[in-house]
Amino acid sequence: MIIRWQVHAFVAMMLVSLLVALAVGMPIGDIISTLIAGMGGTLGSVAILVALGAMLGRMIEVSGGAANLAGRFTQILGPTRVPAALTAAALVLAIPVFFDVGFIILVPIVYGFCKAAKVDPVKFGLPVAGIMLAVHVVVPPHPGIVGGSAVLSADVGWVTIIGLLVCLPLGVLSQVVSKWLNRRRYEMLPTTAEQFAKFGGEGEPGAAKLHAPGVGVVLTLILVPLALIMVGTTGATLLPKGDALRNVLAFIGSPIFALMVAIGLSFWLIARRLGWSMAHTNQVMESSLPPAATVILVTGAGGVFAKVLTASGIGAALSSSIAAAHLPLILAGFVISLVLRAAQGSATVAILTTCGLLAEAITGGGYSPLQVALLTVAIGFGGLGLSHVNDSGFWIVTRYLGLTVADGLRSWTVLTTVLGVAGFLITCGLWAVLA
């Protein structure tokens, strides 16, 4: 439906969930309540996280903090390491900001540095886009991994720690693979070439607006909630159940509380320092919600589909099939997610659907919280690879970097697939060592 008739992902998943429930003979009196339970169970945690994450990212975007962050990383690493500096800045910026938005934020900075270096945008932009998408699929508060964690009852703190650990070497790999892919010159699209030629006259590349928040402010807003989440996870791991301190740390380290703290800090560190009125601050935050609403609905529909698959017994049947085939669960999760990603384009839908299909096997398999987190991250990396023409991100990257469809398949699709496979292999290595 999504590919052939361009049906919206939310409508398609809701309709298929209903049809599956009818096809397996679910009692008609239970169908609607099952759909509602799937939506409510998933959105209970996902909606708040996605909304708060979108608000935080919007504050950083509008204030000019993203440009400051990229410029500062470049100053530290030096002009000869501009691609590495931009990639490092992109990795940090991608944590609170959705991929599409984050990449578009960095495009003017990429253009500026490329004009100064007299190279095409694809030279610096390709590794930036690659690492941003990698972070998007495995690091909360992004919707696919958060929704998948909810479906599998995975610890978001462990998922965050593992996702960030794996993405660090992937940042280096994105640089290496992009350099190899850029050994040939790609002919720039005429529209992009015209846009790139007109770009300029806005100061030195990477120069931050005078009123923009500094790098320390941006890093504080990103790292404080991550630190709180990690504190909660550490307490849950080291302290016994029922311990008063463990309960306090669990509250402090809950992702919802951590993001609320970051939002509170953004009022003080951005809005107040820039002299924004409350009306303007509210307007900035509200502007983040329309795009987030679609993400939330699609994520909730994924939860509905997962609930139907579980309640209908399809999840249990698939679990039995996997067990009979003796296919490792971590490999099955990656492969199913990768196939779904290639089939319908959305990484979020691929991750959520795979988690729904494997929920029975994972939640009933007696795995530790760390193992469940590793399985969730492996599924997330399946949603990274094979980005092609049915993926909106493919069109954003190729159009801004001036790539034709054929060149996009030769470069962007190859890069995302290499990063996805590499991320999965690193996750497997952690499984072998830690699980």
Chain segment 98-155, per-residue pLDDT in tens: 787 667 767 767 776 787 677 888 998 999 999 999 999 999 878 889 889 988 989 9
Minimum mean pLDDT among 53-57, 141-145, 364-368, 403-407: which range? 53-57
What integer is the mean pLDDT of 64-73? Answer: 70
* pLDDT above 50 (res 336): yes
**Has residue 128 been placed in a domain?**
yes
Q: Which residue has the higher pLDDT, 325 or 424?
A: 424
Q: What is the mean pLDDT of the chain?
A: 82
Q: Report pLDDT for 208.
A: 41
- 250-288 per-position pLDDT tens digit: 888 887 888 899 899 999 999 988 889 998 999 888 887
281-294: per-residue pLDDT in tens? 998 888 877 766 76
Q: Between 303 and 159, where is the model more confident?
A: 159
Nearest 5°: the CA angle 283, 286, 289 is: 155
Domain-embedded: residue 3: no
Average pLDDT over residues 345-353: 84
- d(CA 431, CA 288) in angstroms, rounded, equals 37
**Mean pLDDT score, 332-357:** 85
78 pLDDT tier (thresholds 50, 70, 90): low
Q: Output the CA torsion sign for 344, 348, 349, 354.
A: positive
* Burial class of residue 27, CB neighbours in 10 A (0-12, 13-18, 19+): exposed
Secondary element (H or E) of residue 130: helix 121-138
Quote the domain boundaries for residue 228: 9-434
Higher pLDDT, 81 or 45: 81
Determine the Cα–Cα distance for residues 74 and 80; give it in Å rounded to an integer. 9
| CB-count exposure of residue 432 (10 Å: 0-12, 13-18, 19+) | exposed
Confidence band (pLDDT; 50, 70, 90) for 204? very low
Number of domains in the chain: 1
Q: 12-18 contacts: CB < 8 A, separation 24 or more? A: 13/298, 13/301, 13/302, 13/304, 13/305, 13/349, 13/353, 14/301, 14/304, 16/305, 17/301, 17/304, 17/305, 17/307, 17/308
**Amino acid (1-letter code) at residue 182:** N
User: Hey, what are 312's tokens?
Assistant: 């209908």
Query: Cα angle vertex 158, ends 295, 328, to 5°?
Result: 90
Flag whether pLDDT at 314 surpasses 60: yes
**Alpha-carbon distance 182 to 130, whole Å?**
14
pLDDT range class, residue 174, cuts 50, 70, 90: very high
CA distances from residue 113 to 17, 31, 58, 84, 119 in whole angstroms, order as listed? 48, 55, 24, 12, 9
| Per-residue pLDDT, 132 | 92
pLDDT in tens, 384-399: 999 887 677 788 788 8
Decide if pLDDT at 339 tops 90.
Answer: no
User: Could you give the percent of the chain with pLDDT greater than 70?
Assistant: 87
Average pLDDT on 348-375 reads 89
At residue 226 the predicted structure's pLDDT band, cuts being 50, 70 and 90, is confident
Of 129-143, 145-159, 335-349, 409-423, least confident by mean pLDDT is 335-349
pLDDT at residue 64 is higher than 80: no
* Stretch among 29-33, 62-66, 120-124, 140-144 having the lowest mean pLDDT: 62-66
**Choice between 409 and 312, residue whose per-residue pLDDT is larger:** 409
Banded pLDDT at 3 (limits 50, 70, 90):
low
**244 within a domain of the structure (yes/no):** yes
Cis peptide before 141 (omega within 30 of 0): yes
Selected residue with higher pLDDT from 161 and 82:
161
Tokens representing 100 are: 């599409």
* DSSP secondary structure letter of residue 157: H
> Is the pLDDT confidence value at 42 over 80?
no
Q: Which residue has the tokens 């410029």?
A: 71
In a domain, 357, yes or no: yes
3-state SS class at 59: helix
- Give the DSSP H or E segment for 362: helix 347-363
pLDDT at residue 48, rounded to an integer: 79
pTM score: 0.70
Vertex 285: Cα angle to 284 and 287 (nearest 5): 65
Asked whether residue 35 is domain-assigned, the answer is: yes
